[in-house]
């Protein structure tokens, strides 16, 4: 039985042309930034997601996709490099952010790395993600590491501030040194099917980001259907998003494998039609090494091994690193360490 869940039309006679492309130029942008494309409401209208098929497909991931021994250690070390270490609490302080950045500099104890025979490798997370108020603190604490700072913007987590306020917040975060901006969409635009409004807003956010990469948070747990999730994913990609992301981590339902599969297959369809590769970031509720491995297996099978790089895949996580470090030590000693031996902040 076929598990194809997207009603994919035949490929167009020629690829879509990016926004602003002139006649006679290549319609495909160089690998890197998404240039943005015209809003295609006909494409949006053709999207169909089969929830039961998505659930059957993802149910097989955890059961038959297992990685053992040294291979598991290698995958877990890779997972660390795909992680946006995050603190987004109402009681965050400069000290907490500085401690998180110190952990980002040395995410795994050196004795564990030495025991695994990789003590000479540089293992670092993909980014540190904080509120705008702590961008400057994080930039200073990470100086010299090459680890970028990501800022959550646009009235995170609800996204309901005036547009001018949200654009200004993006501009201020970029000015403070943020190299990535995680914005949150207005869910009402999806629930009412106002795709032109969503498209224009994401375009405005992308422009405000300048050279900083734009990650769009859909708040998938509040979008009601997987059709809505898939359509919102496409509209954000057409508008120029570099990443699409599941959740703020504050919703009742955050990242799930079926939702992730719907978004990943939209990424694949978008790449097939435009030649542009978009990143994916599941966030919220990914706290165990086993769960991280499931998501990595999903990405490998659906999009290929090369998608398992920080440029194209991230985990939004705060406690995941602790469990990964415990699993790595267990592989060496046969014992699980107490959490306090791998403190985060």
Assess whether 252 carries a catalytic annotation.
no
* Cis status, amide bond into 157, omega within 30 of 0: yes
Taking Cα atoms as reference points, which of 286, 341, 294 lies closest to residue 317?
Answer: 286
Set 84, 281, 294, 323: catalytic member: 281
Taking Cα atoms as reference points, which of 281, 203, 247, 252 lies closest to residue 39?
Answer: 203
Q: CB neighbours (10 Å) of residue 318? A: 22
Q: Is 8 helix (H, G, I), strand (E, B) or coil?
A: coil
Set 182, 242, 294, 323: catalytic member: 182
DSSP-H helix ranges across 304-335 = 320-333
What SS3 string covers 48-103? CCCHHHHHHHHHHHHHHCCCCHHHHHHHHHHHHHCEEEECCCCCCCHHHHHHHHHH
Q: Which residues pair with 216 in a beta bridge?
A: 183, 244
End-to-end alpha-carbon separation of the chain, Å? 49
d(CA 153, CA 172): 10
d(CA 236, CA 203): 8
Find out whether 283 and 249 touch, Cβ atoms under 8 Å.
Answer: yes
Assess whether 215 carries a catalytic annotation.
no
d(CA 280, CA 242): 9
Set 242, 245, 294, 323: catalytic member: 245
Following CA atoms 61, 63, 64, 68 in sequence, which dihedral angle do they give, to the nearest 10 degrees? 100
Assess whether 207 carries a catalytic annotation.
no
Q: Residue 92, exposed/middle/buried by CB under 10 A (0-12, 13-18, 19+)?
A: middle
Residues with catalytic roles: 182, 245, 281
């Amino acid at each position: 039985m076929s598990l194809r869940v997207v009603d994919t039309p035949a490929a167009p006679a020629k690829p879509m042309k990016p926004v602003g492309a002139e006649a006679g130029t290549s319609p495909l942008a160089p690998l890197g930034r998404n240039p943005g494309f015209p809003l295609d409401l006909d494409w949006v209208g053709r999207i169909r997601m089969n929830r039961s098929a998505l659930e059957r497909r993802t149910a097989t991931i955890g059961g038959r996709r297992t990685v053992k021994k040294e291979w598991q250690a290698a995958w877990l070390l890779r997972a660390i490099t795909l992680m946006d270490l995050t603190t987004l609490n109402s009681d965050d302080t400069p000290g907490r952010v500085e401690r998180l950045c110190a952990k980002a500099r040395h995410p795994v104890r050196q004795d564990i790395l030495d025991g695994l025979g990789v003590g000479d490798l540089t293992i670092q997370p993909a980014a540190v993600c904080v509120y705008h108020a702590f961008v400057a603190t994080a930039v200073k604490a990470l100086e010299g590491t090459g680890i970028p700072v990501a800022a959550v913007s646009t009235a995170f987590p609800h996204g309901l501030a005036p547009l001018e306020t949200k654009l200004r917040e993006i501009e201020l975060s970029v000015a403070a040194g943020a190299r990535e901006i995680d914005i949150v969409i207005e869910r009402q635009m999806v629930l009412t099917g106002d795709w032109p409004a969503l498209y224009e807003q994401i375009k405005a956010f992308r422009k405000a980001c300048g050279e900083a990469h734009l990650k769009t948070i859909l708040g998938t747990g509040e979008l009601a259907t997987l059709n809505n999730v898939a359509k919102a994913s496409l509209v954000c990609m057409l508008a120029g998003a570099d990443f699409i992301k599941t959740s703020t981590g504050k919703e009742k339902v955050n990242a799930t494998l079926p939702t992730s599969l719907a978004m990943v297959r939209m990424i694949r369809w978008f790449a097939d039609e435009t030649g542009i590769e978009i990143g994916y970031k599941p966030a919220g509720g990914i706290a165990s090494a086993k769960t991280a491995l499931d998501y990595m297996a999903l990405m490998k099978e659906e999009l290929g091994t090369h998608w398992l790089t920080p440029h194209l895949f991230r985990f939004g996580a705060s406690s995941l690193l602790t469990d990964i470090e415990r699993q790595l030590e267990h592989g060496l000693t046969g014992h699980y360490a107490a959490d306090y031996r791998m403190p985060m902040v």
